[in-house]
A and B are shown apart, each in its own frame.
Chain A
Amino acid sequence: MKITRSQILFICFILWGIIILASSLRQITWQRSELLAFANRIAAKNTIVYAVRAPIIDRNGVPVAYSEWQFYILFNRQTSKRAEIFCRQTSIPFEPVAINKKFCLEIPQNKLQHAIINAKKNKLQIRKREIRKTVVLPPQVKHKIGITLFRHGLYGLEKKYNSHLQGQPGFYQIMLGPTGASEISNMKIFLPLRPGTPLKLKQSLFELQCGSMPQPEDEK
């Protein structure tokens, strides 16, 4: 039987196809763990996400001390000119504060979306920070409630019920693209985030404002 050239070609193509499949097979079997480890080295980023600190509320559920996100735009001194143009575009008053050799500028909530788009364009960074606010109270009551620093209660009820209010921070791994783009489907949760529980007081806000000392509901 004489083999034609088209049959020879077909055999060559089949062999070529087998080589391709064998090469792919090697990458999904023997080399896979090594390659995936390398992919993780390039793209995987581990991050801790803190839960927003739970509020301290009066007996009617009105917040007495609560947390709020504040958004800042951060820029180096060298890029301050760019920041100035950006601030003019977003109608934010140009009043930067120097923090660790960087300028920091608060962004109002309603300008945030616009600011994020512009900051990306101008290569500036947007950072958020959690701040703790307390309603207007007499000084001795405010002292009893306490204050926080970097998500930790320094004294008063804020310190005493710190773990109760703070919750549990989450530990995540996320894959990032070269441009910083991420996809939620690729997120791995090592430790889930658990929000803090609000601390309920026995007093109402009015009683506290009149000078009554705050006492948690579960405290005897």
Chain B
Amino acid sequence: MNKINNFILRFYILIFILGFSGVLLIYGSRGSQYGFNAAELALKQCIFLLSGILLMEIMRRTDYRKYLTAGTKLFFPALIILYGVLLFGVKINGMRGWYSLGNIYLQPSELFRFIYILFISDIYLKAKNKERAFPVALIYSIPYIGAVLLQPDYGTAMLYVMTFALISFLAGVRLRLLAILPAGALCSLLIFINCKEYGFNRIYGFFSENADVFGVAWHWKQFQLAIARGGWFGNKLSGGFWSNNYLPFSYNDSAYATMHELIGFCGAAVILVLFFILFHMTIKKSAKNKYSLIIISCIATILMQTLLHCSINCALIPTTGLNLPLISYGGSSLTGIFMIFGMMLSFLNCDETEE
């Protein structure tokens, strides 16, 4: 009992540190180029963070067996809601991905990630032959990912594809079978480049050395400039000139580059290490858990999203909108992450309950 309590205490401390680093980053990045008030954004993020932690605690205390039955029950309503957003949702930043409830905007693709993880993991857990479960999981995933692609939210869609690959890998599916996924992703990428001009521009801007830095390679270059300006120790919270003026969505999609400008390489490295500690202590804890597939899938999805976001901001992969978990601004994203964590902690309780 003490062991699990110690783990939860350490887990909560890490979440608090990461979450409040995000609040400070949002305050520092200001967002004034989009007409936002820094203090207002930071305060909102604080409220999202505290309510998210509360939600996580409620979900942690919920019996893990309820999640196992809920996975199948929730998957199809979630799918309907995801397609509903294409008809009834509002368009923000060129993407129809939000339901509007007055002043509150809900992004279902972020909120329902825990349902997707639960459902796909459940397919693998129930299957005796993992190889046979793979096409079944893939068939269920296609409409889910398709709904996100139609919004179009390429960043989140990429995350869903990688989450699927990750769960399949952890479930024990042979690598030969998993090779279908990169091949599929490559085909989708080629279709995307052919159909959308900006898609071509992004890929060309990334791969071509002669790309116009004032045109197609603009965002890619701005990330590098923000990181370079930060140096080793950053320009303090008030020194985010580049993030505030040149970076696209400094408080959200460019959070890692903003972090570099404000707290420098050393600060950003510490944040990244904290994510790794979170991952390591969870996989260590889940070693003997019979639901380790769900637990590791949850935490690995979060770490993978972090690494993908950082890779985009370091100009290692072509630019697309993807936020940094726990740090970037956004109520839906933060709530979605806390729901994943809440469910994960509930499954970690499983050993204790059975003892």
Q: Which residues of A contact B229 (CB under 8 A)?
A: 35-36, 39
> CA separation between A27 and B257, bound complex, in Å?
11
Q: Which of B8-16, B138-146, B201-209, B235-243 lies at the interface?
A: B235-243
> CA separation between A216 and B229, bound complex, in Å?
53
Interface string of B308-326 (1 = CB under 8 A from A): 0011001110000000000
> CA separation between A185 and B283, bound complex, in Å?
45
Chain B interface, DSSP helix/strand/loop, else mixed: helix
Q: Which of B102-110, B189-197, B272-280 lies at the interface?
A: B272-280
Q: Is there a chain A Cβ closer than 8 Å to B244's Cβ? A: yes
Partner pick for A181 among B231, B245, B300, B316, CB 8 A cutoff: B245
Chain A interface, DSSP helix/strand/loop, else mixed: helix
Do the beta carbons of B276 and A179 come within 8 Å of each other? Answer: no
Q: Which residues of B contact A13 (CB under 8 A)?
A: 276, 279, 300, 303-304, 307
Q: Which of B53-61, B77-85, B166-174, B340-348 lies at the interface?
A: B166-174
Do the beta carbons of B316 and A10 come within 8 Å of each other? Answer: no
Q: Which residues of A contact B244 (CB under 8 A)?
A: 177, 183
Do the beta carbons of B231 and A32 come within 8 Å of each other? Answer: yes
- In chain B, residues 230-255, which have Cβ atoms closer than 8 Å to a Cβ of chain A? 230-232, 238-239, 241-242, 244-246
Q: Is there a chain B Cβ closer than 8 Å to A60's Cβ? A: no
> CA separation between A7 and B279, bound complex, in Å?
11
Given contacts A6-B283, A185-B241, contact A179 B33 (CB under 8 A): yes
Which A positions have Cβ atoms within 8 angstroms of B? Answer: 5-7, 9-10, 13-14, 16-17, 19-21, 23-25, 27-28, 31-32, 35-36, 38-39, 42-43, 175, 177-179, 181, 183, 185-186
Chosen A-B contacts, 11 in total, with CB atoms closer than 8 Å, are A16-B311, A17-B276, A17-B310, A20-B272, A20-B316, A24-B227, A27-B314, A38-B213, A178-B246, A179-B245, A185-B239
